[in-house]
Amino acid sequence: MALDKATVQKLAERLDNAETQRKEIAKITDDYPDLDWDDAYAIQDALRAIKVARGTRIAGLKMGLTSHAKMKQMGVVDPVRGFLADYGQVADGGECDTAGLIHPKVEAEIAFVTKRALSGPGCHIGAVLAATDFVVPALEVIDSRYLDFKFDLKSVIADNTSAARYVVGGNASNAVGMDLKNLGVVTEKNGVVVATASGAAVLGHPAQSVAMLANMLGARGQEIPAGTLILTGGVTEAVAVVKGDVINVRYQHLGSVSVRFV
Ligand code: OOG
Ligand code: MG
pLDDT tens, position by position, 210-242: 999 999 999 999 999 999 999 999 998 999 999
DSSP notation for the chain: --S-HHHHHHHHHHHHHHHHTT--B--HHHH-TT--HHHHHHHHHHHHHHHHHTTPPEEEEEEES-BHHHHHHHT--S-EEEEEEGGGB--TTEEE-GGG-SS-EEEEEEEEEESS-B--SS--HHHHHHHEEEEEEEEEEE--SBGGG---HHHHHHTGGGEEEEEE-S--B-STT--TTS-EEEEEETTEEEEEEEGGGBTTSHHHHHHHHHHHHHTTT--B-TT-EEE---SS--EE--TT-EEEEEETTTEEEEEEE-
Q: Whose CA is nearest to atom 8 of ligand 1?
A: 162
pLDDT tens, position by position, 123-158: 999 999 999 999 999 999 999 999 999 999 999 999
Residue 11 lies in a domain: no
Q: Residue 159 — pLDDT band, cuts 50, 70, 90?
A: very high
Residue 30 lies in a domain: no
Edge-first strand listing for the sheet containing 94-96: 94-96, 255-261, 246-251, 184-189, 192-198
The range of the structural domain enclosing residue 112 comes to 57-261
**Is 70 a pocket residue for ligand 1 (Cβ < 6 Å)?**
yes
CA distance 208 to 45: 24
Q: What is the mean pLDDT of residues 230-255?
A: 97
Q: Whose CA is nearest to atom 1 of ligand 1?
A: 161
Residue 48 lies in a domain: no
The domain total for the chain is 1
Q: Is the pLDDT of residue 169 over 90?
A: yes
Residue 116 lies in a domain: yes
Q: Residue 47 — pLDDT band, cuts 50, 70, 90?
A: very high
Residues 113, 249: contact at Cβ < 8 Å?
A: no
**Is 201 a pocket residue for ligand 1 (Cβ < 6 Å)?**
no
Residue 45 lies in a domain: no
Quick one: pLDDT at residue 69? 86
| Distance from chain centroid for Cα 8 | 22
Q: Is the pLDDT of residue 30 over 90?
A: yes
Distance in Å, CA 70 to ligand 1 centroid:
7
Quick one: pLDDT at residue 70? 87
Parallel, antiparallel or unpaired: strands 255-261 and 184-189: unpaired
Write the burial class of residue 223 (CB in 10 Å: 0-12 exposed, 13-18 middle, 19+ buried). middle
Q: Is the pLDDT of residue 64 over 90?
A: yes
**Is 156 a pocket residue for ligand 1 (Cβ < 6 Å)?**
yes
The answer, as to whether pTM is greater than 0.95, is: yes
What is the average pLDDT value for the chain, to the nearest integer? 97
% residues pLDDT > 70 (the chain): 100
Residue 139 lies in a domain: yes
Q: Residue 116 — pLDDT band, cuts 50, 70, 90?
A: very high
Q: Whose CA is nearest to atom 7 of ligand 1?
A: 64
Q: Is the pLDDT of residue 167 over 90?
A: yes
DSSP notation for 43-84: HHHHHHHHHHHTTPPEEEEEEES-BHHHHHHHT--S-EEEEE
Phi and psi of 38, rounded to 5°?
-65, -40
**Is 108 a pocket residue for ligand 1 (Cβ < 6 Å)?**
no
Residue 200 lies in a domain: yes
Residue 82 lies in a domain: yes
Domain containing 227 — which CATH number? 3.90.850.10
Q: Residue 17 — pLDDT band, cuts 50, 70, 90?
A: very high
Q: Is the pLDDT of residue 68 over 90?
A: no
Question: 222: phi > 0 → left, psi -120 to 50 → alpha, else beta; which?
Answer: beta
Q: Residue 182 — pLDDT band, cuts 50, 70, 90?
A: very high
